[in-house]
Every structure is written in structure tokens, then in C-alpha cells.
Structure 1
Amino acid sequence: MTVPPDVPSTPQRGPFALAADFPPAERDRWRELVKGVLRKSGAATEDTPLADVEGLLTRRSHDGIPLGPLYTADDTVPARPGLAPRVREVRPEGEGLAAWDVRQRHTDPDPVATNEAALTDLENGATSLWLTVGESGVPVEALARALKGVHLDLAPVVLDAGAQTTEAAEAFLALIVERGMSDTALGNLGVDPLGLAARTGVPAEVASAAAPAVRCAREFPRLRAVTVDGTPYHDAGGADAEELGAALAAGVAYLRALTEAGLSVEEAFGQLEFRYAATADQFTTIAKLRAARRLWDRVAEVGGAGPVVQRQHAVTSSAMMTRHDPWVNMLRTTVACFAAGVGGADSVTVQPFDARLGLPDAFSRRIARNTQTLLLEESSLARVVDPAGGSWFVERLTDDLARAAWEWFTEIERAGGAAEALSSGLVADRLAATWERRRKDVARRKAPITGVSEYPDLAETPPERAPAPEPPGGGLPRVSHAQDFEALRDRSDAHLAATGERPKVFLATLGPIAVHTARAGFAANLFQAGGIETITGEPDAFAASGARVACVCSGDKVYEDRAAEAARVLKEAGAVRVWLAGKGSYEGVDANVYAGCDAVETLRTALRDLGVAE
């Protein structure tokens, strides 16, 4: 074939030499350039050593893991797919790679409604069911009705029955036998006494997991018995390594119980499935799932088992979901689902965007299903073995998470194991400390929550949903990252219902629009996060505004000349408190609002000043 003269030849033959004409990249040169930028912002000086530059841009996760600004091949050695330590797993199915299992959750206590919803899900993209049974879901005696028409040999069913796990498992196994599917039925009985203890505070009977596991191994070869649920630790505010370490400790406890009951090591490993939370922090979620496989591979190695791949079920985080502006939850769950798929989860559950409002409706369940379908079918995400594999950042983060989780796991083991660590308060205390750190970051908006702590919509009309059954409680707390801001919004909503109007803050702007716009916009966004409307105008318009609190907004140079006078005018007009947008201290100004301030405490103070009931 003759190549036309206007078509470039291959890079090897010129004229395109790719990177050959560029000098090799050097880390110190990069540091010099970054230092120059940091000097302009005041974060570095001429005397700052180059070796310290990266530290100025490094932050730490809630696990204490450093997250640097730059990673290179020197940071870690990428793992190989399908080989130890199995952070990257190949799961062939036919001619291509296996897609993950799309697992839809059902919590409606009405067995007829659950059955209709389940069949709709299975007909429209879902491939398995996660069914809440017992006090928080379908009654045990109605389990067969809820699963009417569900092909148990095609669609795995995972039970979540809490305190009624034994009864639900017996009912499910009886249904399998009745349908003649003992050799073909798929799913998991959901036995998890440690997870139940974490949720309810009831002492865990780890040995109770043995009998159903032995029965499944002997009579129902395609059925698992045990779910190792890490989400109670995440839902209590725990960090990712803490979730991994606690789940690992629970998994090891179950292995001991199952092997003592007569199962071989391989059979015991085969009875366990792990459940983890997937969040909108996509890289951490990816690394968490990869680290979990590495940790479990190490347990298998120490336990004398052959190659073992941890079976993983990822569910989008309950703690990250919001009640206010719930539509944004669609974005959060999309990112989390993407991360779960990239991280290699075997099964993924996307919680409907309205999950915090009550029982999801058909629309929200459809969106949850289609989120996964889009990633699987349109994005072809499951056709790649490990999309994040080889990324120096992800490989290093995987390694750091695995090491931090192993350290926490060994601490639990030294304390006597998972059950003892729960009953003694070791786990609760550790998670509570982490939650307080996270809570402070949220309060200061270092961890912004779109639609709640940032860019709230006070005019929103949230969808109405039927109330959902209360989940079991009494053990580790269930926290919401948005709970403090949402409590403030609830106070404002109640005030609106009682008086017909929301509380208001007057933004007293000084100087030209170009000077005060940025800080006025910042202050409006902050106060609205607490459900407080803002009115903007010159200080002398305060008296007619109907507000009792004011916030002065302008630039620092204007403040020097006019802030004290503005505060005097506002106080004389009846302002009970005068805030200032910025960090300056001026006569008559009571307090300041600025980036990084404790927004929650600021808003509590403002609501008290405005007479809004708690």
C-alpha cells in the first residue's frame, strides 16, 4: 500500500518524536515550580526547603493516611492481575469479563408490593435481590409470597433479617426445598451475629454462624450462609481502614467458628461474603475494595488455604445520603457505583436517591437500576480488568489502606477478637473519635455537602414518601454526614411552618458591587445552609428589612474606613448581632464569618439570635 505524502509516518520513523524532544522530568524541578506558586499565595517562603514543598500540599485522610500531590513509579509496585496479593482479579465468564451483579435492595414490609417491585427490578436490569426480612422488612411468614415468581436458580437472593435471621433462613431454605432447587438456588442467608451486635448492642454469638454454614456446604452447594457486613462501622462514622479492619476481624472470627464446626478451610472461606460501603470519594473506595482483597488473601495464606478471592458486595453509603436536596444523591451514588465497579466489587447496590425520605418509589428504583446499567452497558466499565490498576496513586493508596487496616485488625485481635472488641467499647470509642474529626471537617465545610452545606435550595419541594420501617438500633450509632446542617434546616422549616416566613439575615454591603459581591455571595451561601434567608442592601436599609441580625460585606480596604461606622448604624437600627464577612476585627463587630470558620456553630448562634426554636 502506498502512503500518501500528507499522512504522518509512525512515531518510530518520524517526524513525530513524541517525548523525545522534551527534557526528562525531574521531581526537584517540579518542586521548584510549585514553590514559586506557593510563595505567591504566602504558603511558602524563599527559605522553604524543596524537600518540604510536597508536605505543604499533603493532607491526611481520616485514617491518618497521607494523600500527597504527586505520585511516581517510585511510590509502589503495581500488582499483577489474577496473582497474589489479588488486589486485581480476573473473573472470566464466557468470552469476556464478567459484569458485576446488579443487586437491588427491598425494605417494604408489604410482601405483595415487594414482590411486584422485585419482579420489575429483575425484568429491567437487576440480577439479584437484597431482601430485608423480619421486624424491619417483610414478615418471615410472608417470605414465600414476596419471592413468588422469582427464579432462585437465576437471581440470587440475599437475606437481611437481623434478630430473626434463624427464622428467615429456615423459611428460605424450606422454600428452596419445596421448589426442588437445593442444588441450584443462589444467594446468601445473611447470617452475621457480629454485624447484628454492632447494630443492636446485643452480645454476639459467633458460633451461631456455624450450623447454617455447615448445612449450606452440605445440602445447598451454591448457597452461602454468612455475610460479613462492614457497613455498621462505616455508618457509625468510621474511616475506610477502620471498616476494613473490623470486617476482617469478623471474617476471621467466622472462619474459626466454621472450621471448628467441621468445615474445611476452603469450605469455610467459600461460605463468606463481605459487604462494604462505597462513597463519592471514588479513589478511596476503589483502593478500599482492592485492599480488602489483599487483606483476605493474606488471611488465606496464613490459614493454609489455596488461592482465595474475597467475594465483595458494595453498597452506596447511607451516611453520605441527604434528606435535603435529595436529587443530588443521584450524583453521589453514580460516583460511588463507578468506584465500586472500578474497584472490582462482585455485586453492587445503588441506594435510591430518596432512601432517606422513606420507602423508595418506582421512579427512584428505576434510576438506581439504570445507574448501574449505564456504567455496564454504555460505559463498558466491566470489560476492563482493573481500570485503576497501575495508577501510582491508587496502588500506593491501596497499600497504605491495607497496612492501616491490618494494624487495626491486629489491635482488635489483641483485645480478644471482634466480639470482645465490640462489647468492651474498643470499636465504639475508636469510631466515635473518627466521627468527631469528620464532623468538624463538615462543620467547617472542609468536607462540603452539595445542596446542604454548600449551595442549598431553600425553595425546594422535597418528594414525599411513605415511611420506611425503622432499622434496628441500640449498638453503634448511625450517623449522617449532613446531620448537623440538616438539623438547622429542620429548625428553619419548622419556623416557616409556624410563622409563614423563614428567619432572615441582612447583608450590609459597602462600596462598589465589584468589591462586595464575593463576600456577600459567600455570606449568603453560608447563612442559607442553615435555612436563613438573606436580604442585601446598604446599612441604612436594615431597619426596614425586618431582620434582627446583620452581616457586613465588603473588601478589607473598605472595612478599614467604613466597617466600624456600618456596625454602629446597624446596632442603632436594632441589630442584636453584627457579623463581618472576613477576618478583620472592628469596633461594633461581634463576630466573623470566613472560609474555614465553624459554620454549624455560626448558624446555631444566628438562629438563636433570630428567635428560632430548637
Structure 2
Amino acid sequence: MTRTDLFPRVSAADWEALASRAGRVDLSTLTARSDDGLPVGPLYPAGDAPPIAGRTPGARWIVAQRIDHGDADAIAATVRTAVAGGATGAVLVATDSTSAHGRGIAIDNETLKRIAHDGALDGLALRIDLGADSTATASGMIRAASAAGVDSLCLAFDPVATLAAHGALPGPGEEAIASLLVLGATMHEAALDGEAMVADGRVWHDAGASEAQELGAMLATATLVFRLADETGHGRDAVARRLGLILAVDADQFLSIAKLRTARQLLARLYALLGIEGVASRVHAETSFRMMSRRDPYLNMLRATGAAFAAAVGGAETLAVLPLAPDGDPFADRMARNIQSIALDEASLFRIGDPGAGSGAIEALTGELAEAAWNEFRAIEAEGGILAAIATGSLPGRIAAMRDDRLGRVSTRAIEIVGVNVHVDRGRPPATAGEQAPPAEAGSSSRLRFVRLAEPFEHLCARSRDLAASEIPPVVFMARIDTSAGTDEAVAAAADALATGGLEAIEAGEPGDDHASDAAFAQSGAAVACIAAGESASEDAIAGMAASLKDAGAALVLFHGSDKRPFIDLPVVDGTLAPGADLVANLGKTLDAIANAGKKMQNHAGDQKARGSES
């Protein structure tokens, strides 16, 4: 008996019957769409494409620890701790790097020498995320890294992506790339392995790009590098050996695996067109910044684990997992390493080269994404190249539109993020404001803006916390229409929706009794009420309760129904909290109403106190 005989043979029809529940479910309804509109179906036939060359089968990827805070001594200590905990590489993030996101370290060649004191960097793969200013001392960093005995060095500065993010560079973009080409020659002279320049997909990804947009921008950046190499007399093969790719990987495992595979395919195609042979640029992966949440940050470990799995299966040579919290917490740093240690030493994900080959789903996504990304690349080139596409605002504009569309789907909960817009742990405090900037304005396309998916809800939580600090309770009165199971379901769902913005639901009064609910609302001190109703409640009953609550002083009346009737269209109801509605907008209106009512009450109390003191 062979191994395959141990399992019953099944046909495609057998699988379709299982997936469709014997024909009761239309399989086409189970097909999702990526941000680029690519279909992600429930069933695929086995693939037969050959593996895509990437990380050598059996070769371990580099476990890189991100370090973005501390002085030279503290950084050296962090590196030693990381190495003792399983790291084989380090990522030093400069303050002016586009990946710093409000953190970062002041890095130059002298700082690097102090960090390397006593062999802290000996044998490590070192990546330094640089900005336009810190790159000025990069040649000294090359000498310092070589003297420190690093195994390889990646100078991670992408002037094109930096230009798109900041709107300007100290000089023309072509000059910045030309200086990186010189650094590549300097690294070659120092016999130091690694990259002197990168095409950094993280910048485009964090600003909201789709997978195809991220890959298209990276490919256009690489094309510009080779054009300038030709103009300045640098050999294409030599430049290719000093060019690295950095890609963001997120919790969508299949798409992230496909993205890494597609990146290699596209670059191989570009190299073939340019006559470059025998060169495969290194792929650095980093877990997505835009998927991280400051509220209930332990859930970030789950997101990072899925992303790390995708990077490993997708064949990344190096991987940096962002810590679960951006506050320099040693526990968070340790968990970022442990996720990779488990993937390496317990799951042994490094042993097989391109395990996605043979998977019909992965191969189909790879092929479709390659076509979409190549079309994006061609569109950029048709505009005169990536610098022209940035200057006209067309590329940042497309990415801003994609970002706004995605944030809209998060707000309506078409995209669910556990702990952010669904299933919030009300026992944990709302998110702190942290490094947040004001929410991005829709349609803003002058330059890239980094907006994490959780940020709109975190801003709501910050507003709720500010109200509480001002002695204005961020509460909403919950009015039950009846005692049915559907109403119980609606109450629980409404309380969860309110909690996403840091608001608390309070209940009182008899279900279905308008007068009792009115009296309870008046005594609650709330300014906003939410009616919870199952499908059995009539529209007349809901309208009557809403009108009664407004007569009792409710500045805003919201509604949440059951799954069978989540919405209701009544003039007396001001908004709904059910999935499909714009939750960020409705909670924003709720907080406005609470703030206005609270200020009026405080002003009234102040006036009464003043009149009392006068008398």
C-alpha cells in the first residue's frame, strides 16, 4: 500500500459538493475580491507551474530585530539581547526614515561605530533604514560596518518612495539615485555583501497601496535605477547585485504569499529584458505597519504570525516582525523574535523551496497579480516614469483613492478587524492617541499619507477618553423595544459597535414601555439613545419610541436591529450602528452630540453657581 492509498480518492465534483453543501450554496457567492479586484475563489484545481526561484531550499531566513529607539549603548544592549534570543539580523531605523513613523534613532557612521563596540554586530545581517539626510553619511557607515564584521549590510533608502511620502528631497531624485549607485561601488570595493539601494514597497503599502500598486511602483523604481545606471556608466549586473526589494506582508496570507512570488517573477522578467543574467535580488519582508492596532495590541501578535507565515512560505531572505506595541517594550521585542523562532524551529518552514508551487489558489493569485502589477507598471511608464507620476500626483492620487476606499470598508465593517471594529474587548481601555496624526482627508493626493486601518476608531476612542476627562461621560442609553431574542442580539451588537469608539452602553427602564424608557433616559444623564429591536418589532413601535426619547431630551436617536433587519428607514431615527452603515461617521456624530450636550450642562451649572454666589 502506498501513502496515497491511505486517503480516499476524490474528484473536483466531490469537493464542489462539499463546498456548496450539496448544491445548497452557490459557489460564486463564496468568491471574494482583492483590493485590485482579483477573484479569490473557494476551490481551485491543483497547480502545475514550476517553483519560483527564491530563498534556497533548506536555507534559514534572517531573523531581523527592528530597533527604533535608544542611544548607542542601549542599542548595543538590545542587539545582544536579540541575538541571545534567536535573532540573526538587526534593523536600525533612522529618525528620518519613512518607516520610522514617529520613532527612530539618530544614526551616522560614528554612532554605528559605538554600537559595534565590543563586537555587538559581528556576524549579523544589518539593515539600516535611512532617510534623505542620514544617507549623507552612508559611505562612512559602509566602512564602519565592514570594520564591525557584519555579515551583510543593506542601506535601505528609496529616494523615489521618500519623495512621494515627503513631497521633496534635498536635491533632484536622479541625483539621490546616482549617489546610491556610487555607494554600491563603495560596498563592492569593501568586499561587503548586501545592498546599497532598495525599492521599498512598505512606503506605498503603508500609504494605502494595493498589492498591484505596491509592486508596480517598485518595478518602476527599479527601472529608473537602471536607466540612470546606463546614463552614469554603471554596469547593469553590478547594480542588480546591489539592489534589494523590501515588501510589506500582512495578515492576508494568500495574497502576501502571492505578492512575494510575483515580485520575483516581475523582477526576473525585467532583468531578462535588460539582459541581466545570473542575478536574483534579495527580498526583505516586514510585517505591515498599517494593519497594527494600538487597542488590544496582543491581537497584533496574531496578525504578525499570519504575516510572518506568508513571508516564510513566500521565500523572503530576511524578515522583520514589528513588535506588538510601538513603545520599546522588551516583551514585545521578544514576541516578535519568538514568532519567527517557532516558524523556523518548530514548523520548519524554511526547509521547502516555494511551497506555494502546486497550489492552485496560490498559482492563480500569483498569475493574476503579476498581470495587474505589470499593467500598473506600464501605466506609470506611460506617464513618463515614476518621477513624473509622482510630480503630477497621478500615482499618489490612485493610492489615496485606494486607501480611502479601504478605510471606508473598515468603517462599514465590510472589512472586519477583531478588537478594532468588531468583537472589542470592553475590559481593555480604549486606545491611546500615541503618534496619531489627524485623520487623512479624503482625496488628498499631494503626497503619500500613512494611515493605519485602526486609526479612525482610535481617534474616536481618544475623543471618548477626552470627554470622560472633562467629566462628560461618553455613554449612550440603550432602549430595548421588547424582550425577544432578536432584541437581545441587537443590544449586544449595538454595545459592541459603541465600544469600538470607546463609548459605553447603559440600560434602564422596562423594555417596550415608552414612558418608563423616557424616565430612565432622563435620569441616566445621557444625551444620545439607541433603540435595539428584533425583527418582530413594528416600525410604528420603533418610531413611537424614537419620538418619545427625543421628547425626553435625546439629542440623537440611533438604531440597531437584528441580523434579519439591521436597518430601518424612519425620519425620526438619526443613524444606525449595524454593519453596512458608516460606523465611524455615526459614532463621530454621537460624540459631537454628547460633547455639545455636556458643554451646555456644564455652562448651565456654571451660570447657576455664579448666580448663587451673587445672591
- TM-score above 0.5, yes or no: yes
Question: Is contact 2:247–2:286 with CA below 8 Å preserved after alignment?
Answer: yes
Question: Is contact 1:492–1:531 with CA below 8 Å preserved after alignment?
Answer: yes
Q: Which residue of 2 aligns with 1:228?
A: 199
Q: Which residue of 2 aligns with 1:78?
A: 48
Q: Paired residue for 1:577, among 556, 562, 580?
A: 556
SS at match of 2:478: strand
Moved over 4 A (4+): 9-13, 26-35, 176-179, 461-468
Give, in whole Å, the separation in 1 of the partners of 2:186 and 2:285.
26
Q: Paired residue for 2:465, among 477, 493, 498?
A: 493
Q: Given residue 609 of structure 1, which amino acid in structure 2 is its aligned partner?
A: A
Question: Is contact 1:211–1:261 with CA below 8 Å preserved after alignment?
Answer: no
Give, in whole Å, the separation in 2 of the partners of 1:495 and 1:334.
36
Give, in whole Å, the separation in 1 of the partners of 2:541 and 2:463.
34
Deviation, 1:603, is 0.6
Give, in whole Å, the separation in 2 of the partners of 1:577 and 1:515.
23
Question: Is contact 1:165–1:190 with CA below 8 Å preserved after alignment?
Answer: no
SS at match of 1:323: coil
Question: Is contact 2:295–2:431 with CA below 8 Å preserved after alignment?
Answer: no
Give, in whole Å, the separation in 1 of the partners of 2:428 and 2:15.
49
Q: Given residue 390 of structure 1, which amino acid in structure 2 is its aligned partner?
A: G
Deviation, 1:598, is 0.9
Matches within 5 A, 1:408-487: 408-461=376-429, 475-487=447-459
SS at match of 1:70: coil
SS at match of 1:557: coil
SS at match of 2:319: strand
Deviation, 1:586, is 4.8
Deviation, 1:294, is 0.6
Q: Given residue 189 of structure 1, which amino acid in structure 2 is its aligned partner?
A: L
Gapped regions of structure 2 (runs ≥ 5): 97-103, 437-445, 561-565, 600-615
Q: Which residue of 2 aligns with 1:58?
A: 31
Deviation, 1:78, is 3.5
Deviation, 1:297, is 0.9
SS at match of 2:523: coil
User: 2:188 aligned with 1:217, yes or no?
Assistant: yes
Give, in whole Å, the separation in 2 of the partners of 1:12 and 1:234.
42
Give, in whole Å, the separation in 1 of the partners of 2:31 and 2:146.
57
Q: Which residue of 1 aligns with 2:99?
A: none
User: 2:266 aligned with 1:295, yes or no?
Assistant: yes
Q: Given residue 429 of structure 1, which amino acid in structure 2 is its aligned partner?
A: G
Identity %: 35
Deviation, 1:239, is 0.6
Mean Cα deviation higher: 552-561 or 430-439: 552-561
Give, in whole Å, the separation in 2 of the partners of 1:12 and 1:443.
47
Give, in whole Å, the separation in 2 of the partners of 1:188 and 1:12.
45
Matches within 5 A, 1:152-551: 152=121, 154-176=123-145, 178=147, 185-202=151-168, 203-205=172-174, 206-355=177-326, 359-461=327-429, 475-499=447-471, 502-537=473-508, 538=511, 539=514, 540=516, 541-551=520-530
1:322-353 deviations in Å (ceiling 9; x for gaps): 12222211111111111111111110000111
Q: Which residue of 2 aligns with 1:25?
A: 13
Deviation, 1:127, is 0.6
User: What number of residue pairs does the alignment pair up?
Assistant: 564
Q: Which residue of 2 aligns with 1:124?
A: 85
1:539-561 deviations in Å (ceiling 9; x for gaps): 52323222222121122222346
Q: Given residue 148 of structure 1, which amino acid in structure 2 is its aligned partner?
A: H
Q: Which residue of 2 aligns with 1:68?
A: 41
SS at match of 2:118: coil
Q: Which residue of 1 aligns with 2:63?
A: 102
Give, in whole Å, the separation in 1 of the partners of 2:399 and 2:251.
20
Q: Which residue of 1 aligns with 2:573?
A: 589
CA RMSD, 1 decimal: 2.9
TM (norm. structure 1) is: 0.85
Shift in CA distance, 520/589, structure 1 to aligned 2, threshold 3 Å: same
Question: Is contact 1:187–1:223 with CA below 8 Å preserved after alignment?
Answer: yes
Gapped regions of structure 1 (runs ≥ 5): 1-8, 38-52, 469-473
TM (norm. structure 2) is: 0.85
SS at match of 2:324: coil
Give, in whole Å, the separation in 2 of the partners of 1:506 and 1:465.
26
Q: Given residue 105 of structure 1, which amino acid in structure 2 is its aligned partner?
A: R
1:244-273 deviations in Å (ceiling 9; x for gaps): 110111112222333444443322211111
